[in-house]
Amino acid sequence: MQFAKNTLIRFAAIACMILLSPRGFAASIASAPYGATQQGQAVTQFTLSNARGVSMNCITYGGIVTRLDVPDRRGRRADIVLGFGSLNDYEKYNGKIHFGGLIGRYANRIADGKFELDGRDYKLPVNEPPNTLHGGPHGFDEKVWTVVKTFQGAQGAGVQLRYVSPDGENGFPGTLTVDVTYTLTDDNEVRIDYRAKTDKPTVLNLTNHSYFNLAGEGSGNVEGQLIMIAGSSYTPTRADSIPTGEMASVENTPLDLRALTPIGARLRSSNQQMRYARGYDHNWKLNKNGQRTGEPGFAARAYDPSSGRVLDVYTTQPGLQFYTGNGLDGSAIGTSGVAYRQTDGFALETQHFPDSPNRPTFPSTELKPGDEYHEVTVWKIGVR
């Protein structure tokens, strides 16, 4: 523990990460078939590669990030996201686990599967009784997205994906056109641009649900990895993970992660919030959103002392859900053939707050015709 404490003190004094040394190649993109869904829809895999030895794979099924290969401090590459080795497994498990997928229409939970908008009541299917989770059953991470374009150049390499959600899908109003662009830059940044338009007033909350393990997928639990979240307050929940509506300080709680802290240090706390979630599964109000500038602000940092890998998260979103894989029970076998269990990965889901459509004091998630939804999240990768 003394080593960890000293590590935190030294690390906190460093404002920036050491980038992986360049290799002189330009960012590029390649594609290949990834099979077909059980309904016969063809799925394509894209591989984005940059000049520093980082590569990311994503597929048109669910917009899922299936791999993110990153060198460690010695140049050894490893995949740092949890996932599966086949499309069949993504179809089998992703409605429950959501590995790497694009989540919509509403990331996180809506209480009792209902909300009111412009004087009209809307009822949603309940898939985490009594609530609706991640937009309900067969959400965006179970749809085959259309490829709008691919690109490579000075800005990096990327792919733009589109899904058109019909009016009334899972109870949500409006025909919604969603475009998500993944870009890998030569600065070791994965940039995710979310854009959407609707033809009727609706509510919307989009995120990516990747689970990270900076020591490498299948390497064991992440409890010794460090986490810092730039949030001084959070939204306490009831036993069913629905916010109570209040905003509480993280001071003197296991949720005070304003300095780098081992993920496992407080997992077994008797704090009621930690007991409800069986670990971390909470929404932080990000400090950088006191005044929004339209540019992604710093949200979180994760660091693995064993490999030296660092992940910084920046976002335009007001909140961050930190989740320690509490639902992983060994039933799902990952890419490397290892069974995934609790704390084998963690998620940093940048988003609006849970149950915002029913909480007028929370930042609004309403999208109106004529307006454009645009949020950005950046994963910046480095080593120390």
Report the binding-site residues: 108-109, 209-211, 281
Residue with tokens 């412009």: 118
Q: How far is CA 377 from CA 9, 156, 195, 263, 370, in A?
A: 27, 16, 12, 22, 23
Question: Among the residues of the chain, which ranges form H helices?
Answer: 2-12, 87-93, 272-277
Out of 98, 209, 282, 352, the active site residue is 209
pLDDT at 304: 98
Please tell me the distance from the alpha carbon of residue 150 to that of residue 320, in angstroms, as a whole number.
29
DSSP, residue by residue, 117-170: ETTEEEE---SBTTBEETTSSS-GGGSBPEEEEEEEETTEEEEEEEEEEPTTGG
pLDDT at 25: 54
Q: Which helix (H) or strand (E) holds 268?
A: none
Q: What is the pLDDT along the chain (384 residues), one digit of tens a residue?
A: 433 444 443 444 343 444 444 444 589 999 999 999 999 999 999 999 998 999 999 999 999 999 999 999 999 999 999 999 999 999 999 889 999 999 999 999 999 999 999 999 999 999 999 999 999 999 999 999 999 999 999 889 999 999 999 999 999 999 999 999 999 999 999 999 999 999 999 999 999 999 999 999 999 999 999 999 999 999 999 999 999 999 999 999 999 999 999 999 999 999 999 999 999 999 999 997 444 567 899 999 999 999 999 999 999 999 999 999 999 999 999 999 999 999 999 999 999 999 999 999 999 999 999 999 999 999 999 999
From 319, 317, 316, select the one nearest 353 (Cα to Cα): 319
| Every domain of the chain and the residues it spans | 2-383
**Residue 138 annotated to the active site:** no
Out of 91, 217, 349, 375, the active site residue is 349
From 62, 38, 80, 57, select the one nearest 302 (Cα to Cα): 80
pLDDT at 26: 85
pLDDT at 1: 42
- At the second CATH level, the architecture of 2-383 is Distorted Sandwich (2.70)
pLDDT at 288: 72
Report the binding-site residues for beta-D-galactose: 108-109, 209-211, 281
Instruction: Enter the tokens of residue 5.
Output: 């404490």
Please tell me the distance from the alpha carbon of residue 95 to that of residue 363, in angstroms, as a whole number.
27
Spatial neighbors of 278 by CB under 8 A, at least 6 apart, are 326, 342
